[in-house]
C-alpha cells in the first residue's frame, strides 16, 4: 500500500510541477523533506523505530516551505507535512505528554485538511480514484488526533488560565470546522460524529465566555448554536450569567426567549425566572400574562404557589383587594400547607377594612383572622394585633381587650 501511495504522490507532484512556476528550489525542498521522512520513518514489521533526529530535519524543511506560503501551490507539501506530524503525534500520544501530542495533532489535522482541499481542486492531474484513496488515507490519519484535541478542549474549557482557554477555543474550532465544513470528513459517517461536533461547540462557547476580550456577539452566537440540543439549558444559563451585569436588555431578551422555548425539567425554572424579573421591574401587565401562561402549563409545579402569590401581590399592591383575596383563596385551597397562601386572604380583608366604613368589611376581616387564630394558636403575630384593632374599630371592647397584649401600641 505504501508503494502505491508513494507512486500516486510522485505522479501528483510531477503534475503540479508542470502546472505552476514556483522556483525549482521549493520543489527540491519538498522532495528532500519527503525523502528524509521516508528514510527516517519507523517500520514495526522490520523492528525499525522512527529516527527523530533525521525527522527533525525533515520537519524543519517542510515547515519552511509552508511558512513561506508555497504550500498553497503544492498539495504534496501539505501531505508531507501531515505525514511528518503524524510521527510526532504518535510519539507523544498516550503518555504524559498529551499537551505536546495535541499540538502536533492540531498541525496534522490542519495539514490534512489543506492537502485534501488542494488535491480535490486538481482532478485534471490525478484520477478521481487516486484522489479518493488519498482523502481516505488522511481522513483516517486525522481522526485520532482530532479526538485527542476534542478531549483536550474539554479539559481546557474548565481552566481558569487565559492561555488554556485560548487553546481550548482553538482546538474546538478546528474540530467543528473539520467535521462540519471540511471536505476531508464529508464522507465520514460515524454515528458519533454529530455528538463530537456538539461537544466541540459546547467547549468553544465555554472558552469564549471566559476569555478576556471576547466579543459579546461571539459569545452569544456560540451558545445559540447549542439551542435545541441537550445543552440548551446550559446555554440559557450561561448567557444569562454572562449578560446579567453587562447588558440588561440582552439579559431580558434571552430570559424571555428561554421562558418561551426551553424544554425539559428546566423549562418551568426559566419561565419562573422571567416572571420574577418582570415583577421586580414593575412590568405588571406582562407579568400577569406570563403568570397565566405558567399556571396553564405548569400548574402542578412546585413553584406554582409562588406564582399564584405573586399575581395576588400585584393585585394587592394595586389595592384591588377583592381580586387579590380571591386569588389567595384559590392558592390556599390548592396549597393548604403553605402559610403564605393561608395568611394573605386575611391581610387583603384587613386592608379593605381599613379603607372602608362598612361594618361588613370589618366583620369579614375578623372572621378570617379568627380562622388564623384557630390554625396558628401559637403564632399571634398572624392575628393578635389585627383582631385588637378590628374589634376596636367595630366598637366591641369586650372582645377587643382579650387581644390588648398583642397590640404593640398599648401601654
Dump pLDDT digits (tens) for 183-216.
999 989 999 999 999 999 999 999 999 999 999 9
Instruction: Give the residue-averaged pLDDT of 269-281.
Output: 96
DSSP count for the chain of H helices, then E strands: 19, 0
CA 185-190-193 angle, to 5 degrees, is 70
**Window from 19-28, 250-259, 305-314 with minimum mean pLDDT:** 19-28
Per DSSP, the residues of 181-247 read T-GGGTT---TTHHHHHHHHHHHHHHHHHHSTT--HHHHHHHHHTTTTSTTHHHHHHHHHHHHTTT-
Closest CA to 308 of 289, 337, 330: 330
CATH topology of domain 263-352: 1.25.40
244 confidence band (pLDDT: 50, 70, 90) = very high
pLDDT at residue 2 tops 50 = no
| Extents of the domains making up the chain | 1-154, 263-352, 356-411
Q: Is the pLDDT of residue 380 over 70?
A: yes
Instruction: Calculate mean pLDDT across residues 385-394.
Output: 94
Q: What is the pLDDT of residue 47?
A: 87
pLDDT given for residue 121 in this prediction: 64
pLDDT per residue over 64-95, tens digit each? Answer: 999 988 767 778 899 999 999 999 999 998 76
**CB contact at 8 A, 383 and 370:** yes
Distances (CA, A) of 273 to 170, 300, 352: 34, 17, 31
Q: In which band, very low, low, confident or very high, does the pLDDT at 221 lie, cut at 50, 70 and 90?
A: very high
pLDDT for res 4: 43
Cell of 123: 482532478
Mean pLDDT of 367-386: 94
User: For 151-190, how does the pLDDT look when each residue is reduced to its tens digit (9 = 90+)?
Assistant: 999 999 999 999 999 999 999 999 999 999 999 999 899 9
Residue 113 confidence class, pLDDT cut points 50, 70, 90: very high
The string of pLDDT tens digits covering residues 137-152 is 899 999 999 999 999 9
Q: Are 183 and 139 in contact (CB under 8 A)?
A: no
Cut 0.85: pTM above it:
no
**How many alpha carbons lie under 13 Å from residue 343 in its C-beta half-sphere?**
12
Place of cell 416572571: 275
Using one digit for the tens of pLDDT, what is the confidence trace for 313-364? Answer: 999 999 999 999 999 999 999 888 898 899 999 999 999 999 888 999 999 9
Q: Record the cell numbers describing residue 61, joined without a space.
A: 524543511
pLDDT at 307: 93
Contacts 24+ apart (CB under 8 A), 193-199: 196/147, 196/150, 198/226, 198/229, 198/230, 198/231, 199/150, 199/154
Q: Name the pLDDT band for 1 (thresholds 50, 70, 90).
A: very low
Distance CA 212, CA 257 (A): 26
Read off the pLDDT of each residue in 50-75 and give the average, rounded to a whole number: 89
Amino acid at each position: 500500500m505504501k508503494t502505491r501511495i508513494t507512486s500516486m504522490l510522485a505522479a501528483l507532484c510531477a503534475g503540479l510541477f508542470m502546472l505552476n512556476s514556483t522556483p525549482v528550489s521549493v520543489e527540491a525542498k519538498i522532495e528532500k523533506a519527503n525523502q528524509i521522512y521516508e528514510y527516517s520513518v519507523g517500520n514495526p514489521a522490520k523492528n525499525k523505530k522512527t529516527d527523530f533526529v533525521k525527522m527533525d530535519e525533515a520537519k524543519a524543511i517542510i515547515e519552511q516551505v509552508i511558512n513561506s506560503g508555497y504550500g498553497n501551490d503544492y498539495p504534496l507539501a501539505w501531505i508531507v507535512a501531515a505525514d511528518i506530524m503524524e510521527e510526532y503525534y504518535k510519539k507523544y500520544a498516550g503518555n504524559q505528554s498529551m499537551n505536546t501530542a495535541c499540538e502536533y495533532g492540531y498541525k496534522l489535522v490542519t495539514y490534512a485538511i489543506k492537502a485534501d482541499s488542494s488535491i480535490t481542486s486538481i482532478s485534471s492531474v490525478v484520477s478521481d480514484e487516486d484522489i479518493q484513496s488519498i482523502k481516505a488515507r488522511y481522513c483516517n490519519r486525522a481522526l485520532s488526533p482530532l479526538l485527542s484535541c476534542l478531549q483536550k478542549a474539554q479539559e481546557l474549557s474548565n481552566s481558569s488560565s487565559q492561555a488554556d482557554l485560548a487553546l481550548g477555543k482553538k482546538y474546538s474550532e478546528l474540530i467543528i470546522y473539520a467535521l462540519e465544513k471540511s471536505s476531508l470528513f464529508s464522507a465520514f459517517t460515524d454515528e458519533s460524529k454529530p455528538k463530537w461536533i456538539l461537544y466541540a461547540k459546547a467547549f468553544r462557547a465555554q472558552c469564549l465566555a471566559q476569555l478576556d476580550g471576547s466579543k459579546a456577539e461571539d459569545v452569544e452566537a456560540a451558545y445559540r448554536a447549542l439551542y435545541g440540543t441537550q445543552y440548551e439549558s446550559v446555554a440559557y444559563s450561561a448567557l444569562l450569567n454572562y449578560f446579567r451585569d453587562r447588558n440588561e436588555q440582552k439579559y431580558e431578551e434571552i430570559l424571555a426567549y428561554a421562558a418561551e422555548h426551553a424544554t425539559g425539567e428546566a423549562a418551568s425554572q426559566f419561565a419562573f425566572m422571567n416572571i420574577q424579573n418582570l415583577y421586580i421591574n414593575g412590568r405588571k401587565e406582562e407579568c400577569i400574562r406570563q403568570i397565566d401562561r405558567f399556571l396553564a402549563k405548569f400548574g402542578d409545579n412546585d413553584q406554582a404557589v409562588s406564582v399564584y402569590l405573586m399575581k395576588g401581590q400585584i393585585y394587592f399592591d394595586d389595592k384591588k383587594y377583592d381580586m387579590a383575596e380571591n386569588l389567595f383563596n384559590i392558592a390556599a385551597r390548592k396549597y393548604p400547607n403553605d402559610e403564605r397562601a393561608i395568611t394573605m386572604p386575611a391581610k387583603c380583608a384587613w386592608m379593605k377594612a381599613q379603607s372602608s366604613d362598612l361594618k361588613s368589611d370589618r366583620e369579614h376581616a375578623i372572621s378570617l383572622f379568627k380562622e388564623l387564630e384557630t390554625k396558628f394558636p401559637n403564632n399571634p403575630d398572624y392575628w393578635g394585633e389585627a383582631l385588637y384593632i378590628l374589634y376596636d374599630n367595630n366598637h366591641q371592647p369586650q372582645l377587643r381587650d382579650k387581644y390588648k397584649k398583642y397590640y404593640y401600641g398599648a401601654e
